[in-house]
Amino acid sequence: MQNTSENQNVIIINKHVFVWIGTFFFGSFAIDRFMRGQIGLGVFKLLIGSWLTLGIWPLVDFIIAVVKAYSTYSDTSQLTFINGQYSK
């Protein structure tokens, strides 16, 4: 964590690690799909995907995230948060 001034907390996170952790912990709740901007697929996975596939869908999503970490933030390999808000 880096502090640029007394009032701002700047946190820089590697995008790939952010996606891996989000998919591992929240993949069963489809939050990984929402993070990637796939809203329709996220709602579908949330409603029936995890229990209908007996947990295989979240596992496959985690493997995909480890092999190829993709998200809507493709312009950089780092994510920057200032005071808890995403900043480009």
Q: What is the pLDDT of residues 11-56, one digit of tens each?
A: 887 777 887 888 888 888 888 888 778 899 889 988 887 678 888 8
Q: Is the pLDDT of residue 2 over 60?
A: no
Handedness of CA 41, 42, 46, 47 (dihedral sign): negative
Residue 29 CA to residue 50 CA, distance in Å, equals 8
Q: 29 in helix, strand or coil?
A: helix
Q: CB neighbours (10 Å) of residue 44? A: 14
Whether residue 43 is contained in a domain is answered as yes
Domain with 16, as residue range(s), is 8-87
Whether residue 2 is contained in a domain is answered as no
pLDDT of residue 40: 92
**Which token pair is 84?**
């808890």
Count of domains in the chain?
Answer: 1
Whether residue 3 is contained in a domain is answered as no
